[in-house]
Structure 1
């Protein structure tokens, strides 16, 4: 079900199709494209970033750039919204997050784009936060943090899973998630 809902093989958008945003394009090329083109260079202390958090007002091209990254890198693109991962059944949302990352590793190299991540990962301890919401945040943090650790393909190459996230409200996002993802500002 998750595979049918969020998987796109090639979005067909290139960096040249995105007008402006030269600094954001440069950052995304450094964070995502180069580690895929030169994996031998990004070893040890220069290991690739775990992900990028893109933020800015609506309509600034965050989703378009995520699709461009997947196309330029030739990765499998997972376009995820909170509705794709939400479930009313106890424990099902955490299982969907784990399944998403397992699926991304199976299709590696892959790019997971989580749109409006603030709806999934608001600050912990906020008023009205439920236990289920905390478990989903914890599972998402564990999966993002361990997405690229010690997993290899049959040929010995590294299974790279890059996480891109977008939000309009970066200050509402959990501090743990902000510390894992590199911030990319779309306000300029």
Structure 2
């Protein structure tokens, strides 16, 4: 039986343990071949189960509107994934979408949310991959898991394979590197190239990192689009603050809101969320323990500018200026400007 015939049986994913494939492997075993885990061209059903249960994200319910700003990154993802899934007849030949995208920038600014949004908007299968999900204590199993991952992605296309903190998985290879780590990196690179063997397959690999300078050169060659996700500018900070305060009782006249936008320069999206959460605690802290137990939520005073000013003494920007400048420089040299 050819390997293509075996792979075709996996179209029953997800759900069962691909009993057809298991039956074929049992037949080969009874004929004196190697166990199913070692049969060339076949896949271990246990690894398939690991992929479908631990790596496939079944609820990336994030929409474009949930991601503030980042218009350039949204446009790139629209061209790479969403439009090709809806109009495959248009995106062929020179217009076929790139298969690799790198989202890089300071942490906490929406890289993961963007990847989940594109999976939701395109109705694609979303594979959320980390270094820990692809490593194993058994020699050689990590490489098999990588092969299985890409095989399942092809069978469930359109698919998005999202590798968060990709630098921890595909950093620059060095001479004294651990042999298992080197083999894993090589297998990911080989499988990445294999995705493009069938030009009609729609499997997109998206990597996210805040340390792009540590990625291997071979990885950068495959991630042809590299989009910088910067710290939010004034207009995006204004949107983020309004989004965080939605549903809250607050008193921030226009001038106070604009002051807050100016004074939070250098804050990431996650920093702004933490700032709002800290400010929201200020009215409660003023009450004292006895009053906290008896007061009604509607009786709490409104948030005001002074609450955010006090919160800034506790919640400070998480990114050093030197790191920010380093990412800006890398973007000028290697980013898709």
Q: TM-score normalized by structure 2? A: 0.52
Alignment of 1:110 onto 2:159: yes
1:134-166 Cα shifts (integer Å, max 9, x gaps) = 111111111112213227xxxxxx331111110
Deviation of 1:83 (Å): 0.5
1:61 aligns to 2:110 (yes or no): yes
8 Å CA contact 1:63–1:166 kept in 2: the answer is yes
Supply the distance in 2 between the matched residues of 1:58 and 1:36 (Cα, whole angstroms). 29
What count of residue pairs does the alignment treat as equivalent?
181
Q: Aligned to 2:195, what secondary structure does the other structure show?
A: coil
Match of 2:198 among 150, 155, 169: 150
Cα displacement (A) at 1:36: 1.4
- How big is each residue's C-alpha offset from its partner over 1:7-31, in whole Å with a ceiling of 9 and x where there is no partner? 1234111111111111111111122
CA distance in 2, matches of 1:47, 1:177: 20
Counterpart Cα distance in 2 of 1:136 and 1:45: 32
> Which of these residues, 197, 208, 217, is aligned with residue 175 of structure 1?
217
Residue 187 of structure 1 deviates from its aligned partner by 2.1
The Cα RMSD (Å) is 1.5
Deviation at 1:88, TM superposition (A): 1.9
Q: What is the alpha-carbon distance in structure 2 between the residues aligned to residue 129 and residue 15 of structure 1?
A: 40
Counterpart in the other structure of 1:91: 140
| 1:24 matched to 2:73 | yes
After TM superposition, the runs of 4+ consecutive aligned structure 1 residues lying more than 4 A away are: none
On the 8 A contact 2:58/2:126 being kept in 1, the answer is yes
User: Larger % of strand: which?
Assistant: 1
Which residue number corresponds to residue 5 of structure 1? 54
For 1:186, the equivalent position in structure 2 comes to 229
* Partners of 1:73 and 1:119 in 2: CA distance: 28
Match of 1:45?
A: 94
Q: Return the TM-score normalized by structure 1.
A: 0.91
Q: CA deviation at 1:43?
A: 1.4
Check whether the contact 1:10–1:75 (CA below 8 A) recurs between aligned residues.
no
Does 2:181 correspond to 1:140? no
Task: Tell me which protein shows more helix as a share of its residues.
Answer: 2
CA distance in 2: counterparts of 1:57 and 1:159, whole angstroms: 32
Name the structure 2 match of 1:155: none
In the alignment, the residues of structure 2 paired with residue 184 and residue 15 of structure 1 have an alpha-carbon distance, to the nearest angstrom, of 17
Instruction: Give the distance between the partners of 2:168 and 2:137, measured in 1 at CA.
Output: 15
Give 5+ residue unaligned stretches, structure 2: 1-49, 232-337
Gaps of 5+ in 1: 152-157
CA distance in 1, matches of 2:157, 2:120: 14
| Contact kept? 1:10, 1:76, Cα under 8 Å | no
Larger radius of gyration: 2
